Amino acid sequence: MHRCVLLLAALLPFGVMADADEPPTLHHCADTRLRVADAEAADAALVCEGGARALRFLADLGLRLPDALRIRVVHSLSPLYGVGQLGSFDASAGLIEVLAYDRCAALVSQDLLFHQPLDPDLYLSVVAHEVAHAVVEANYSGDDPCLVAQEYIAYITQFAAMSPELRVRILDASRIGAFAGEQQMSAMYYLLDPQAFGIAAYRHFESQPDGRPFVWRLLRGEARFPPM
């Protein structure tokens, strides 16, 4: 707990500013595209940092960033496919929701995320994952984004947002290899083991001399994935 408090304090100065003219639960991040609602200052700082890391990574891939992203910190989320959710993105409302840090920690304590207990570094990567979904929605030029394309980009963003130390610790502890290609990237694989899918996706992205062309194949709807 003390380690978490120290990291939160380190993030506060550059992570978030409360606007005196706004309701006290609305925070403006240093990256002005991001707004965080209904969060304590410490949680808002982490959410701002996770969002900013996601936006930097996605901008480096050439994606267009939305002018504004709303992130609401909540105390509960409905399970999806019978599994507890740490965050969600509602495309119809343009709203990202993530669990508050303490609620997220409680859920992760029951089912470790990438075999890791929650710490601030892992938490902000959860935020980055959901921000990636919102940015993909704004950049997809095919039909509605398919599940595999969405999750591939969200997971590579999540891993990119982690500190190098956390990322190496997760990957070194895993025997999951890279996807050999899109023919191995099935929605069924994701639904059966989302975290394994995420590791295989990030290894695939990193195994390429330049991962950007494949990301753009996904965004244009050109990839051909196996059926369910």
Sequence spans of domains, the chain: 2-219
Task: Check pLDDT > 70 for residue 10.
Answer: no
Closest by CA position to 25, among listed 69, 72, 90, 77: 72
Helices assigned H by DSSP within the chain: 2-15, 41-60, 101-110, 120-139, 147-161, 164-172, 187-192, 194-207, 212-219
Q: Cα angle vertex 151, ends 79, 198, to 5°?
A: 95
Q: What is the CA radius of gyration of the chain?
A: 17
For residue 18, how many C-alpha atoms fall within 13 Å in the half-sphere facing its CB?
Answer: 12
Q: What is the mean pLDDT of the chain?
A: 88
Mean pLDDT of 26-50: 96
Instruction: State the pLDDT at residue 142.
Output: 75
Task: Check pLDDT > 80 for residue 193.
Answer: yes
**Helix 120-139 with 164-172: angle, nearest 10 deg:** 90
Share of the chain above pLDDT 90, in %: 80
Please state the pTM of the whole predicted model.
0.88
CATH class of 2-219: mainly alpha
Query: 59-73 burial string, b = 16+ CB within 10 Å, else e?
Result: eebebebbeebbbbb
CA 79 to chain centroid, in Å, comes to: 17
Mean pLDDT of 168-183: 97
Positive or negative, the CA dihedral 192, 195, 199, 205 is positive
Instruction: State the pLDDT at residue 8.
Output: 23
Mean pLDDT of 60-89: 90
Task: Check pLDDT > 80 for residue 144.
Answer: no
Which CA distances in Å does 168 have to 12, 37, 77, 98, 164?
Answer: 26, 32, 29, 25, 6
Helix (H, G, I), strand (E, B) or coil at 201: helix
Task: Check pLDDT > 60 for residue 187.
Answer: yes
- Poorest-confidence range of 1-5, 104-108, 190-194? 1-5
